[in-house]
Amino acid sequence: MKIRILTLNLMALALIIMLPSCQSEKNELQPWNVLLIFSDDLNDWTSVLKGHPQTLTPNIQRLADQSISFTRGYCSAPLCNASRTSIMTGLTPATNGIYDNKRWFREHEKTAGLVTLPQYFKANGYQTAGAGKLFHSPRGSGEVPRKMSDDISWDEQYIGEIGAQAPEPFPEQRLDLPMTEYFHAFFVWGHSPVPKEETHDLKMVQYCANYLQQDHEKPFFLGCGIFRPHLHWCVPEEFFNKFDLEDIILPEVLETDLEDLPEAAKKLIKPLVHGQLVKQDMWREAVRAYLACINFADYCIGTMLDALEDSPYAENTIVILMGDHGYHLGEKEHWTKFTLWERAVRTSYFIKVPGFDPGRCDAPVSLMDLYPTLVDLCGLPEKEGLDGHSIRPLLEDPDAEWEYPALTWFRENNYSVRDERYRYIHYPDGSTELYDHDADPHEWYNLSGKQGSKEITRRLDAWIK
Ligand SMILES: [Ca+2]
Ligand SMILES: [Ca+2]
CB 105 within 8 A of CB 142: no
Query: For residue 224, what pLDDT band results from cuts at 50, 70 and 90?
Result: very high
CATH value at residue 316: 3.40.720.10
The ligand whose atoms approach the alpha carbon of 425 most closely is 2
CA of 273 to the centre of ligand 2 (A): 19
Is 86 inside a domain boundary? Answer: yes
Give me the pLDDT at residue 6, please: 46
Name the percent of the chain lying above pLDDT 70: 86
| Position 245 in a domain | yes
Distance 178 CA to ligand 1 centre (A): 24
Phi, psi (rounded to 5 degrees) for 225: -100, 95
For residue range 137-186, what is the model confidence (pLDDT) as tens digits?
A: 655 555 555 667 899 999 999 977 654 454 555 555 566 555 454 555 66
**pLDDT value at position 292?**
97
For residue 143, tell me if it sits in a domain.
yes
Confidence of residue 275 (pLDDT cuts 50, 70, 90): confident
Measured CA to CA, the distance from residue 361 to residue 354 in angstroms comes to: 17
**260 C-alpha to center of ligand 1: Å?**
28
Digit-coded pLDDT (tens) for 48-79? 999 999 999 999 999 999 999 999 999 999 99
- Residue 347 falls within a domain, yes or no? yes
How much distance in Å is there from the Cα of 458 to the middle of ligand 1?
Answer: 31
Tell me if 167 is assigned to some domain. Answer: yes
Total domains in the fold of the chain: 1
- Domain span at residue 383? 31-408
Q: For residue 66, is it within any domain?
A: yes
Tell how far the Cα of 447 is from the centroid of ligand 2, in angstroms. 9
Which stretch, 3-7, 235-239, 358-362, has highest mean pLDDT? Answer: 358-362
Which ligand lies nearest to the CA atom of residue 445 in the structure? 2
Q: Which ligand is nearest to the CA of 101?
A: 1
pLDDT value of residue 256: 97
Q: 260-274: per-residue pLDDT in tens?
A: 999 999 999 978 888
Active site residues: 80, 136
Residue 125 inside a domain? The answer is yes
pLDDT digits (tens, 9 = 90+) for 384-441: 999 999 999 999 999 999 999 999 999 988 999 999 999 999 999 999 999 999 999 9
The whole-chain average pLDDT of the chain stands at 89
Residue 393 domain flag = yes
Its pTM stands at 0.91
